[in-house]
Amino acid sequence: MLTHVTQLRRVVTVGGGPAGLLAAILMKENDPATEVEVLERNPADAGYGFGLVFSAVTLANLRADVPWLHDDLTRLGRHWSDIELRLHGENLRLGGNSFTAVSRSRLVGSLRQHAETTGVRLTDQREVTDPEDIDADLVLGADGVSSRIRDHFAGRFFPEIRVATAKYAWFGGYADFDALTFLFERTEHGWFAVHGYPYDEEGTCTFLVETDPATWERARPTGYGPDETPAPGASDEVARRFCSEVFAGSLLQPGLLANNSVWRNFVTLRTKTWHHDRYVLLGDAAHTAHFSVGSGTKMALEDAIALATALRATNDLPAALREYEARRKPKVERLQAAAEPSMAWWENFRRYVDLPMPQLGMHFLSRSGRVTHQRASEEDPEFVRGLDRWFSGGEGVDAVLGTPFDGPSWRLTSRVVALSAGSPVQRGVRSIVLRDGRMVVDPQDTAGELPGVLLDGLRDGQDVEQGVADAVAAAERGAQLVMLRADPATAEAGTLARSQISERLRLEHGLPTVTLEDPPDFDLAAQLVLSGRTDLVAVPAEAIGEHPGISAAETRTIEHSPR
Ligand SMILES: Cc1cc2nc3c(=O)[nH]c(=O)nc-3n(C[C@H](O)[C@H](O)[C@H](O)COP(=O)(O)OP(=O)(O)OC[C@H]3O[C@@H](n4cnc5c(N)ncnc54)[C@H](O)[C@@H]3O)c2cc1C
């Protein structure tokens, strides 16, 4: 019975990518009486991109919502579980995940077939220029990141973009990958990295090459000068040849495969609202998240499912569109928040390539800020045990945090230091001293030992360069360590700036850093120390006593003796 379905005479989907096709199929299934048409600007067989990755969780959700799509992905895709980092001639294998990769064109082909079987009309080579000309009760803007529908009503949807500094180009190739593989290759110009994985039985792999802008400028892998604008086809070929040479040692067959493989900067898109009048956005037209979290297509498919579900639950179109946005937006925003530090990792990876391999592994795994020592241990206990032993000689959080630390002229006997109570967050640079084994934040107090600075109330997106400059200036005046605290008012947001400043001070300036965690999370603290993001962690003094596992560290921490 279709008693509640929103009654629609005609629905038009602009864009025949994953979002548009799945939404069209589900609309038609909602009410076979609705006329559903997909307008796609390209010919049927003109796909872009190579393989896409889906996590096991994504597939399980799809199985519940659209079983045939889950079965198609499982049938068409390739499955593997490990992550592998290849750098300086070493391989590090990280387990505990489960992925399915599928060719983007096979996924689109399968969706098109289902669309036709369901009675959706597919009109190819029809580019929509004016959305107001479309004859429909409901227009789905599923026309990708450069959406015409969204831009036409920009004053209603309020799009906002952030352009990544890193350059990437999406290729295919035949390589000896049997996992989600990351290759790092140093050239005379700087570092290039690959995100690669096999996605079909023929052994074709996604081969996505990424580099920082300075390396890219030096290499000019377009073959064009700074003031020349290359035509897409020609620049494709130069990019393909350049990357094929850089990674020749990893290819089983010479030469990468190109398909619209131009150098780009990833664009993260957010839109304030997703619907206006009879227009609704979904997929990349509404939002994007950096490809390193492998979630763009997943979000596009989940949008389509949520929209169809909302339209099935009521016969009130505006209410259904509101419900769709209310259900999806918070989930998408959470994913975008996790993608932000992952994108930053790839913008900065040249800084991490000289970390010892096990540490690089933890740094990479925890790049989105959510992986603690415990969570990493659940995913790959053997890797974490080995890392703990490499770092501390023992195993577990207490062993890691109980590892001594040598400063320029002093030694602390563990990685946890106690911070005196009563240090409210106050944006700016403040003095800290160590007195009776406790960090004291007080600009007036100059009588303690081990003077340092506190960069307080850090916020993402604005404080990194300034924070590094302030800390380096303080070190020139004699500061021996730098403590960093995020602005709690910005929730997770300040922690990225905190980590980025901390690791730059450690890796580029050799300055010891202390990350202030309040409320304390010793599991996270162990990750921050193990991954090389910080040397020490400060927690409020009273928290040390409350934590039975860490209390032993307190007595050792408090010791402070000149070496
Ligand atoms: C390098 C890279 C790697 C990625 N890897 C992954 C991954 O591993 N896993 C994953 O889940 N996602 C990945 N993604 C993201 C994924 O490709 C997109 O999120 C996904 O394709 C979004 O689907 P969509 O249907 O919203 O948009 P699209 O796939 O972009 O489809 C939009 C369609 O609209 C058509 N169109 C555009 N304008 C018009 C117009 N005016 N008129 C008519 N038609 C129009 C286009 O031709 C296109 O067919 C990756 C993205 C990039 C850039």
Over residues 255-277, the pLDDT tens digits come to 999 988 889 999 999 999 999 99
- Calculate mean pLDDT across residues 426-443: 65
pLDDT tops 80 at residue 503: yes
With tokens 């400043």, the residue in question is 501
Q: Which residue has the higher pLDDT, 262 or 171?
A: 171
In ligand 1, the atom with minimum distance to the C-alpha of 20 is 25
Q: What is the mean pLDDT of residues 420-433?
A: 70
Rounded average pLDDT over 422-431:
71
Q: How far is the CA of 517 from the centre of ligand 1 (A)?
A: 39
Encoding tokens for residue 272?
Answer: 């304030």
Pairwise CA distance, residues 400 & 554, whole Å? 13
Q: What does the longest C-alpha to C-alpha distance in the chain come to?
A: 82
Nearest-CA residue for ligand 1 atom 2 is: 291
Distance 145 CA to ligand 1 centre (A): 7
Residue 557 clears pLDDT 60, i.e. is over it: no
- The neighbouring-strand residues paired with 513 are 482
Instruction: Name residue, tokens 């006593």.
Output: 545
Instruction: Choose one of 284, 293, 299, 305 to mutate for the ligand 1 pocket test, by most ligand atoms within 8 angstroms of C-beta.
Output: 284
pLDDT tier at 428, thresholds 50, 70, 90: confident
Q: What atom in ligand 1 is closest to the CA of residue 101?
A: 8
- What per-residue confidence (pLDDT) applies to 560? 39
What mean pLDDT is predicted for residues 237-249? 92
Q: What backbone torsions phi and psi does residue 55 show, to the nearest 5 degrees?
A: -80, 165
Highest mean pLDDT, choosing among 216-225, 419-428, 532-541, 549-558: 532-541
Amino acid letter for position 516? L
pTM score of the predicted model: 0.90
Report which secondary-structure segment, H or E, holds 562: strand 561-562
- pLDDT of 473-494, one tens digit each? 988 888 888 989 888 776 556 7
Q: How confident is the model at residue 227 (pLDDT cuts 50, 70, 90)?
A: low
Cα of 18 vs centre of ligand 1, distance in Å, is 7
Is the pLDDT reported for residue 230 higher than 70? no
List all residues 6 or more positions away from 320 whose beta carbon is below 8 Å from its beta carbon: 6, 310, 311, 313, 314
Sorting pLDDT into bands at 50, 70 and 90, what band is 451?
Answer: confident
Ligand 1 atom with the shortest distance to the CA of 208: 1
320's tokens: 């259904």
Three-class SS of 381-443: HHHHHHHHHHHHCCCCHHHHHCCCEECCCEEECCCEEEECCCCCCCCEEEEEEEECCEEEECC
Q: What pLDDT score was predicted for residue 226?
A: 60
User: Which of residues 453 and 231 earns the better pLDDT score?
Assistant: 453
What is the residue with the minimal CA distance to atom 4 of ligand 1?
291
Nearest CA to ligand 1 atom 41: 128
Question: What's the rounded Cα separation, in Å, for the pair 526 and 546?
Answer: 17
pLDDT value at residue 486: 87
Residue whose tokens read 């996992």: 179
**104: number of CA atoms within 13 Å, CB side?**
23
Indicate whether 143 pLDDT > 80. Answer: yes
**CA–centroid distance, residue 83 to ligand 1 (Å):** 25
The amino acid present at 153, given as its one-letter code, is F
CB 432 within 8 A of CB 482: no
- Can you give the pLDDT at residue 562? 38
Q: Give the distance (Å) from ligand 1 centre to CA of residue 166.
A: 20
Question: In this structure, are strands 51-55 and 159-163 parallel, antiparallel, or unpaired?
Answer: unpaired
- For ligand 1, the distance from its centroid to the CA atom of residue 419, given in whole angstroms, is 49
Helix (H) or strand (E) holding 450: strand 449-458
**Cα–Cα distance for residue pair 383/369, rounded to 1 Å:** 19
Over residues 53-72, the pLDDT tens digits come to 999 999 999 999 999 999 99
Average pLDDT of span 417-425: 70
Residue 105's nearest CA partner among 52, 39, 179 is 52
Q: How far is the CA of 558 from the centre of ligand 1 (A)?
A: 55
Question: 385 or 418: whose pLDDT is higher?
Answer: 385
Which residues on neighbouring strands pair with residue 160, listed in sequence order? Answer: 270
Apex 437 CA angle, 492 and 551, nearest 5: 65
| pLDDT surpasses 80 at 513 | yes
Lowest-pLDDT choice from 243-247, 479-483, 510-514: 479-483
> What mean pLDDT comes out for the span 226-253?
80
- Would the pLDDT of 447 be above 60? no
Nearest Cα to Cα of residue 124 among 29, 35, 37: 37
- What residues flank ligand 1, with Cβ below 6 Å? 14-20, 39-42, 49, 52-53, 127-128, 142-144, 148, 170, 208, 283-285, 291, 294-298, 300
Average pLDDT on 216-236 reads 69
Decide if 480 contacts 510 (C-beta within 8 A).
no
The residues, any chain, with a CB within 8 Å of residue 497's CB and separated by 6 or more, are: 458, 459, 460, 461, 462, 463, 464, 467, 486
| Helix intervals (H) in 89-231 | 104-118, 148-152, 154-157, 213-219
pLDDT at 3: 55
In whole angstroms, give the CA distance from residue 205 to residue 195. 10
Confidence label for 556 from pLDDT (cuts 50, 70 and 90): very low
Q: What is the mean pLDDT of residues 175-203?
A: 95
- Nearest-atom number in ligand 1 for the CA of 51 is 8
Tokens of 129: 């220029």
In this structure, are residues 454 and 424 in contact, taking their beta carbons and an 8 Å threshold? no
Please state, rounded to an integer, the average pLDDT across all residues of the chain.
88
**Residue 144 CA to ligand 1 centre (angstroms):** 5
Confidence of residue 413 (pLDDT cuts 50, 70, 90): confident
Residue 164 amino acid letter: A
Confidence check: pLDDT of 135 > 60: yes
The pLDDT tens digits of the residues spanning 518-551 come to: 778 899 999 999 999 999 998 877 777 665 555 4
The residue length of the chain stands at 563
Residue 340's Cβ-side half-sphere holds a number of Cα atoms within 13 Å equal to 23
* pLDDT for res 224: 65
How many angstroms is it from 85 CA to the middle of ligand 1? 27
According to DSSP H, which parts of 419-532 are helical? 464-476, 493-509, 522-530
Residue 130 has pLDDT above 80, yes or no: yes
pLDDT digits (tens, 9 = 90+) for 280-310: 999 999 999 999 998 999 999 999 999 999 9
Cβ atoms 277, 235 nearer than 8 A: no
Q: Point out the ligand 1 atom lying closest to the alpha carbon of residue 288.
A: 19
Q: Atom 30 (ligand 1): residue with closest C-alpha?
A: 144
- Answer for the pair 19, 304: CB distance below 8 angstroms, yes or no: yes
Pairing, β 138-141 against β 10-14: parallel
Q: Which residue has the tokens 């499912």?
A: 305
- Using the atom order of ligand 1, give the atom closest to the CA of residue 47: 49
- Measured between its terminal Cα atoms, the distance across the chain in Å is 81
Task: For residue 559, name the pLDDT band (cuts at 50, 70, 90).
Answer: very low
pLDDT attached to residue 452? 82
How far, in Å, is the centroid of ligand 1 from the Cα of 297? 7
Rounded distance from Cα 412 to ligand 1 centre (Å): 52
Q: What pLDDT score was predicted for residue 216?
A: 92
Q: Is the pLDDT of residue 435 over 90?
A: no
Give the closest residue to 530 by CA, choosing from 389, 418, 348.
389
State in Å: Cα 268 to ligand 1 middle: 13
Which pLDDT score is estimated for 223?
66
DSSP state of 257: B
Are the C-beta atoms of residues 134 and 5 closer than 8 Å to each other?
no
Closest Cα to atom 39 of ligand 1: 143
Pick from 80, 291, 343, 346 the residue to mutate for probing ligand 1's pocket: most ligand atoms within 8 Å of its CB.
291
Q: What is the mean pLDDT of residues 110-118?
A: 97
Question: Strand pairing partners for 39?
Answer: 14, 123
Task: Pick the more confident residue, 223 or 457.
Answer: 457
Residue 225: pLDDT above 70?
Answer: no
- Nearest C-alpha to atom 27 of ligand 1 is from which residue? 144
In sequence order, which residues have a C-beta less than 8 Å from that of residue 140 and are 6 or more positions away? 11, 12, 13, 14, 15, 19, 20, 23, 24, 280, 282, 307
Place of tokens 């910080």: 534
| Cα of 17 from ligand 1 centre, angstroms | 6
For residue 540, the SS3 value is: strand
Give dist(CA 112, CA 327) in Å, integer: 27
Q: Ligand 1 pocket: which of 25, 41, 121, 167 to mutate (most atoms <8 Å of CB)?
A: 41
